[in-house]
Amino acid sequence: MAATLARGMLSGVAGTAVMTAFQKTVEMPLTGRGESYAPAKLVEKILPIGRKQGRERERLNYATHFGLGLMWGAAYGVAAHAGLRGQRAVAAVFGTVYSGDVLFNTALGLYKPSKWSQRDAAIDVVDKLVQAEATGLIFDNLLRPSSNSSAH
């Protein structure tokens, strides 16, 4: 279980890198959306660190962004340990983690999904679905455990 969880966590960080690249090179240029500081706002709300400014806030935002991706990956590792792979695992993890993300941030007063436009909701779902898909692909295809055969 520990190795599968670690593999999931590494896949989640890599999946977050893929999502970030997608956001910066595809989604944001197409939508005109600016940088989101939702991850930083989350940490500023739940930890006693106060609101950060400038480069310090940017660093906090990226650290939290990748930390959350690590947790998405851990969830994928748990699903894989339970026998799910591919699109079934992506769907299970995405449905569970995305719903929890929206509910938790809404409960904290950080999200107001009832006020989101369809465009804003679609952007949020697509960006996080890219992360979930990338995490699954990386876990299932790139970070497979090696088949060390002792028979030579």
Q: What is the pLDDT of residue 63?
A: 97
What pLDDT was estimated at residue 144?
75
Asked if pLDDT for residue 25 goes beyond 50, the answer is: yes
Q: What is residue 151's predicted lDDT score, i.e. its pLDDT?
A: 41
Cα–Cα distance measured from residue 68 to residue 85, given in angstroms and rounded to the nearest whole number: 21
Distance spanning both ends of the chain, measured CA to CA: 28
| Distances from the Cα of 91 to the Cα of 24, 78, 96, 129, 146, angstroms | 24, 13, 8, 9, 26
Of 6, 1, 14, 7, the C-alpha closest to 133 is: 14
**What is the full DSSP assignment across 77-132?**
HHHHHTT--HHHHHHHHHHHHHHHHHHHHHHTTS--GGG--HHHHHHHHHHHHHHH
pTM across the whole model: 0.88
CA distance 20 to 26: 10
What's residue 143's pLDDT?
75
Helix-, strand-, coil-residue percentages of the chain, each rounded to 5: 75, 0, 25
pLDDT score, position 146 = 62
pLDDT tens for each residue of 73-118: 999 999 999 999 999 999 999 999 999 999 999 999 999 999 999 9
